[in-house]
Amino acid sequence: MNKIALEQSGEGCTHSDIPLPEIKQRMINDTSATRLAEVFKALGDPTRIKLIGALLHQELCVHDLSVLLEMGQSAVSHQLRYLRNLRMVKRRKSGKTVFYSLDDSHIEQIFLQTLQHLEHG
């Protein structure tokens, strides 16, 4: 039975003490939900997770990241561009070398808290 049919039939929960309109008002809006889903989608890729894990320690250039991840520089650059478009990493140019680092401490917190969650059980 679909949601509308359930509402019309009166089936479902019988309690009335839950303030659904208030909860609905506090829920995340569609734009924010989409942006949040994009961040979690980015974190759903093991290569991007490894890149973030490496950048937790210090800023690194594409060459260093490709050595650490045992991947080609082109593939690493592609993943870094994806993360940069989501403002998860930032870049700094020094001569011909481009260094990458985490964009801000929020990315580090998300990463470390998720690791703690996994270790918790």
- Condensed to tens digits (0 to 9), the pLDDT of residues 9-64 reads 556 777 778 888 999 999 999 999 999 999 999 999 999 999 999 999 999 999 99
Q: Is 3 domain-assigned? A: no
Q: The domain containing residue 51 runs over which residues?
A: 32-116
Q: Is 67 domain-assigned? A: yes
Q: Is 17 domain-assigned? A: no
Q: Is 11 domain-assigned? A: no
**DSSP H stretches of helix in 27-69:** 30-42, 46-55, 62-69
pTM over 0.85: no
Query: For position 56, which CATH number holds?
Result: 1.10.10.10
The pLDDT tens digits of the residues spanning 68-102 come to: 999 999 999 999 999 999 999 999 999 999 999 99
| Count of domains observed in the chain | 1
Which residues, other chains included, contact 98 with Cβ-Cβ below 8 Å and sequence gap of 6+? 61, 62, 91, 92
